[in-house]
Structure 1
Amino acid sequence: MASRTSSLKYFSLLIFALAIVQMTLAGDPDILSDFIAPPNGTVDGNFFTYTGMRILVGGDVPKTFTVLKATLAEFPALNGQSVSYAVLEFPAGTTNPPHTHPRSAELLFLVDGSLEVGFVDTKNNLFTQTLQAGDLFVFPKGLVHFQYNADSENPAIAISAFGSANAGTVSIPTTLFATNIDDNVLALSFKTDVATIQKLKAGLAPKP
């Protein structure tokens, strides 16, 4: 009996260790080919070209914070390539609200303007920086972060690179206040009242 118990113990430890290794290696899966072709379609130069960013060339500055993405959803050729991009346009005084990317770190390059950026680590330490054009800033994988154009007159534009074809975005305000989480749960969590929670939800409700 002792021998069997010991064997089960070691087997359990082995399974646990393998699970830990798998978690540390988690990310986009490696592929065993040069690329993943679409199930139905022709593979030529067009397949590897994404033209969705052309609207940025000579375009006007948007009136609200805008994100143009080149992820797996928009650019299928990224499937299996573990990379994606986003272009972030910040009119004067706008922000990219606190959010996370659960499947990738984010490397932000500020092309023009200035940005206040920051993230919070798992010990609730806040790391902030004021970026100028030409600066790079990394937001570690899965941590809550934000960007804010504090300039009241000039826009800013940045390019973000991700180590995943589908980094994912979890918006903290939207996740908490626009997904029908019970008002009482939120009121208790934020140590406030239901009326305040309802005002927050109303502010984030989709415009008709």
Structure 2
Amino acid sequence: MKLDCAKSLVFVLTLLAIIHMSHSGDPDILTDFIVPPNSPHVDGNFFTFTGMRALVSAPLPPNFKVVKASLEQFPALDGQSVSYAVLLYPGGTVNPVHTHPRAAELLFVARGSLEVGFVDSKNKLYIQTLQQGDVFVFPKGLVHFQYNANAKVPALAISAFGSANPGTVSLPSGLFNSSIDDTVLALSFKTDVRTIQKLKAGLRC
């Protein structure tokens, strides 16, 4: 009797785990697309994002820049489980260490070269030097970065995400521009409050 109960419990727990896994991405929708409430008549304009036009003829920015086409900027993506970003790296610039909690990222290097890497849940670092035309995947939720090590040649990359709203958590900003107490941060990084305050001041510059 106890064995049957144990088997039943294992079956139920396995079933719950499978159900949870099947709902871990963007939820499926029951219509072709989702129109925001109180929207005007929907036509082809609703499904068109023009925010990238400014990149075509604009000069290269002085600092790293990302232009996103995700749910916030492009409401037609709601329920479609996909979004997009164009990343511009002047020479010697970095996309700071960050995560996307709701999606994997597939990055295509369209111009220049990039040093990229991510850290898995066992703290192992995976790095690669990408050349023009290369594609690299950053697994969902893992800490990663991109760096243009060439001080003279700019780089451009295009990223696709498996969510309409992948989210971005910048570790430097999320830790040192938040309201986490300086003492907590100092203890976490095994340093002192003064060092934490210097890091915070550097991020505000």
Report the TM-score range of the alignment, normalised by the length of the smaller protein: over 0.9
Return the alpha-carbon distance in structure 2 between the equivalents of residues 50 and 99 of structure 1.
25
Counterpart pick for 1:36 among 34, 37, 45: 34
* TM-score, normalization by structure 2: 0.93
Amino acid at match of 1:20: A
Matched, 1:156 2:132: no
Return the alpha-carbon distance in structure 1 between the equivalents of residues 198 and 78 of structure 2.
41
Q: Secondary structure at the match of 2:44?
A: coil
Q: Secondary structure at the match of 1:22?
A: helix
Matched, 1:126 2:129: no
Return the alpha-carbon distance in structure 2 between the equivalents of residues 10 and 179 of structure 1.
47
Instruction: Measure how far apart 1:18 and its partner are.
Output: 4.0
Return the alpha-carbon distance in structure 2 between the equivalents of residues 120 and 184 of structure 1.
26
Return the alpha-carbon distance in structure 1 between the equivalents of residues 200 and 36 of structure 2.
41
Return the alpha-carbon distance in structure 1 between the equivalents of residues 176 and 11 of structure 2.
42
RMSD (Å) for aligned C-alpha atoms:
1.7
Structure 1: give runs of 5+ residues left out of the alignment.
Answer: none
Partner of residue 18, structure 2? 21
Q: Which aligned pairs between 1:66-85 and structure 2 lie closer than 5 A? A: 66-85=65-84
Amino acid at match of 1:93: G
Q: Which aligned pairs between 1:1-208 and structure 2 lie closer than 5 A? A: 13=10, 16-25=13-22, 26-40=24-38, 41-205=40-204
Q: In terms of mean alpha carbon deviation, does 189-198 or 35-44 score higher?
A: 35-44
Describe the superposition over 1:29-62 as per-residue Cα deviations: whole angstroms up to 9, x where unpaired: 0111111122222110000000000001111100
The list of structure 1 runs, each at least 4 consecutive aligned residues, that deviate by more than 2 angstroms after superposition, is 9-19
* TM-score, normalization by structure 1: 0.91
Amino acid at match of 1:22: I
Instruction: Measure how far apart 1:19 and its partner are.
Output: 3.6
Instruction: Measure how far apart 1:22 and its partner are.
Output: 3.2
Instruction: Measure how far apart 1:154 and its partner are.
Output: 1.0
Return the alpha-carbon distance in structure 2 between the equivalents of residues 68 and 12 of structure 1.
48
